[in-house]
Structure 1
Amino acid sequence: MLKTKMFLSFSIVSLFIVGITCSIFFVKYTSDIKNQTFSLSSVISRQFSQMVDLYMQNIEELSLAVSISPAVQNSLLDYRRASESIEKEIIGYKLNPFLFDFSYPKPYVQSISIYTLDGYMYYYTKLVEHKPAVPYSFDELQQFNLLLENKKFILQPMIGGEGIGEAPKRIVSFLRRIHRIPTQQTIGYVNIHINVNAFKALVLSQVQAGEFAGSMRVLLVDEQGEIVYENGSSAANNTSRQRFDLGLLQQGKLEGELQWNGKSQLYTCETSSYTGWKTIVLIPKDIVLSKQKRIQDIVIVVGIVTMLLVALVSYILSHQITLPLRNMMRKMSSVELGDFNQRMDYTGRNEVGKLSRMYNHMLDSISKLIHEVYESKLAEKNAQLAALHAQINPHFLYNTLNIMKSISRLKGIEEVAEISESLAGLFQYSMKNLHKSVSLQEELDHINNYFKIQKHRFGDRLELSLSVPDELRQASILKLTIQPLVENAVNHGVQRMRSGGFIHVGARDHDGLLTITVMDNGPGIEDTKLEQLQHALHTANALHGLRDAADGIGLLNIHQRIQLYYGKEYGVTISSPPGKGTMVSVTTPLRLVDQEEADGMR
């Protein structure tokens, strides 16, 4: 059914369009979520890395201030001159106030240590009750010295710096050389311990709101993969040294996915050109997927609602279209059974309304045609009865003329016999099938019979001339095509002439066309009447021709018969210059009687 096809077609197309649209929207939206997540974490990692660099630059400035301090320079020189342990201890007591002055304004500085070249340490810490510091060994200092050949300072994550009764803390050791002024000779090392909890404020300033605040992890990892700092409560309680596998990072990519602590994470990475540390921001992928799940649910709900609406609209639309069509089908079934009174009542302005009106007009036209055909058939039957009745009189008259001819010859009245014979020939020729084609010779014989009678009427006042080549006498023409033209020439052309009346009948072949002309030397036709006659020939129709036939076969009848039989390009033409007679021409295709009979047999 059309209704089902329309409904299924609309539904399938709409399902496809809605499905593609929702899929594109879902993919695009989830991609945007991922990009926004990467963008946010990239900003955080970059800003955090920059802030750590600022802290380290501040420490570098502090270490430089300590290393060029006259108190530190003099203390190290005094140490080289001291020979007793007590002298070395006194130097430390003198140095302590200066180290206090350097560290006090910096809350993130936990302690400052001054190392001599032989590994002796002067140590200051802010802890009130602290455990004794474990100094670097001489070998470690020698290794640091080699590394400092290519670097200004060394950053080393470590666990330590705890006070008595306190848990160890994560710290960063900042170590650099102390050069003697102005010789730039290395005379010692300065080591500053930085409490990494100072980085917590940096993280909080970057991650302080939003749905990722509680789940985002910010890691500060050194070049060897050791974790310098990690945010979060669990990281704060974990004082063991941890490492991060740098191989998890996709090579050459600053963002991507990795597995960490048993979970899939989205990461962004920022490497500091100053410290060499990497700031890695991790966001659990399941949090991002939860947002995708919410969007997916919304898209599915919207898609289902859209589908239901489209299905409802397509059903209503298909019902509105097919309902009048089904009604028309029922009415056409009744019309098929012969009931032509079935009409459509649909009055809409759309295509179905136009189709309904056309259907009603078609039934009206069919009813009218049926009525006209019925009347024409009835009229044809009546005409056939009248024709059968009318044939009785010509046959009776033909037989009577033959009796008159016989009696006239028996009694020696030859003129009456000749007239009777010619008139009998006219009636015999006319009683045959009017629509049957005959040879031109038969039509000429009919003209001669007609002219014999007229000769007895007009005597020497009228002459007939026939100029027809022998090869054209077997040409096929319609019966009673030329004789009525001769009759018109007699009645309307030369009838009133007292002498010298002349009628000429000629025929010629012109490029496969047979042209027969009938000319008289009468007074001609008036211009107005000639114009009306030519217009009538130009606009003649079958009904007009039949009306002429009822009054006697005339020009219009001959013209119409020729066009109906041969085609519109053939027919009758007439010309009549004033005072110079009238010429009527008949043009038909040149066909021989034998050729037409052979075509009829085929």
Structure 2
Amino acid sequence: MKSPVQWVNDSLQRKLMFSYILVIVIPLFLMSFILYQRALHVVTEQTEKYNDKMLQLMNEKIDKLVTQIDRISYFVYLDDVQKLLNDIPQDPVVNASWQIDLKFKLNSWIGFLGFNGGIRSVTLLDQTGVYFNSENALIQSGFSAERSRWYQEALQSDGAKVLLGPKELGEYMVYPNYREGSLNYAIARKVYNLQGNDSLGVLVMGIELYDMNEIMSELNLDSHTGLMIVDKSKEIVYSRGIAHPDQQLSRLISGDTPGKSTIVKDDDHDTLVNVFTSASTGWDYITLTNVEMLAKDAKQLSSFLLWIGVFACLLAIVISFIFSKRIVIPLKRLQNTMRNIEKNDFQSNIAVAGRDEVGQLTISFNRMVSRIRELIHTVYRSEIQEKEAHIMALQSQINPHFLYNTLGTVNAMAMMSDNEEISKMVVALGDMFKYAMKQNGRLASIREEMEHLDNYMTIQRSRYGERIQFVIDIPVALMEFSTIRLVLQPLVENAIRHGLDPLPDGGTVWIRGQLDHDTIRMDIQDNGLGIEAEKLKAIQTRLLSGVKDGTYRSGDSIGLFNVNARLKFYFGGAYGVDVSGGYGEGTTVTLLFPAKRHTRTLADG
């Protein structure tokens, strides 16, 4: 079975088609790949810029909210509140009234500011524990100021706010009834005693920004982009659109600088990470975008180009088939004509279909074939002339043999004083010489050949009497077909001379003829001595090979080779003489030549 490479190389048309397809498809696929990579790069870059911008916008909004909420904590520095904080009653009944009074001051301050900001509770506590809680217990019993890092950090911040995540307050921190999608955190601040130089403890405000959905809708982040807000302790205070945010956070590198973006790779997919760190709160705003979803549009563009490539490939096959066929068909015609010329058919010409390179090649090929025909015709005429001269020499070799025998017979007849027989022989001899010496026109009808043979048999009857018998079986229809001159008489002479004359009782010679399709077959058969097998094989071999030199002149079969050579010269190698028989069985000589009706000329008389 042929390999694909061999299959392509075996045909010029396939080579052209394959080349056309490669020329179209390879650039198209390269362009598709480059455009996909470029589109993915552009989309990723634009997404990075957009996410950075959105994170900055979100930071501005949340910073503004944190600043507004932080103002609520300043109520502790109101004169009335300072007085209350410096005089905390120990009696439970009086303390309950004190709690109500302080809560009233807090609500009045919030009303004055006109902004609640999602305050869930306000708690005041010192080293001994909670001494004020506006509502909903935020700090549980068992609180230890010494073990609470955030408490110590608030005291050391000199009154600056400290932002705390839900988990940073520790196991004593409780946020009841979280709303889904809200941002939960706490602000801790050291409370100074304005009436003295000591500290009144730490104020903690629990905050739930439940309007985060409104903020997110304004940001208009892509549906494939998740968001998380991480505090300074790397705890998540808010997340949206991220599955398993804690696991995602653990994959990120801590200490990212503002505006930093990177692509994090894992087994499932690549993630574009944008990080923006707030200078005010210290929080990290992080977006996570699935790169595969970014590549969706690029893949659609690439798929579209691939479909165009498939269509272009089919179109290339059709176009290449048409154009290659226009090139290959003339070349195939040229190839077929060359095969005909290999079979000696020099009459073939190719129709010129155009003036391009193939057309010019066809014209040159036709000219070459025409020139070859002319050369062959010239060589053929030269060979014919040479062969005719050769044949004339062959014809001249026939007459001396027969003339010698005939003159001997005439001499004998004269001695016997039989004038009538001598007259017949002389007339027959004259007709034979007259026929044999005709040089204009090398062809004769079979009738003329038989008349010449009849003159020869007249002479042989006078010589041999009843010893030699002649039987002729030639259909009348064959008489007007053509053959070359002097082909029957030499073969009949051979039959008498080599087959019948050596026998004391003589014998019979049969001359038969028949038409076999477009070939005439004539048999000269005798029942004489026959030919030895080895000699017969040698004669047959020489007859099949034809005679091209003078080697046939030696031996006793001069007339046989003469006739064979002449038939082959005139009619071609397919025709000639064949010999069959055996020693003691007689001999049959068969002549084959084409069936062509004889056309008489003035030279025929």
The normalised TM-score by structure 2 is 0.48
Q: What TM-score comes out, normalization by structure 1 length?
A: 0.49
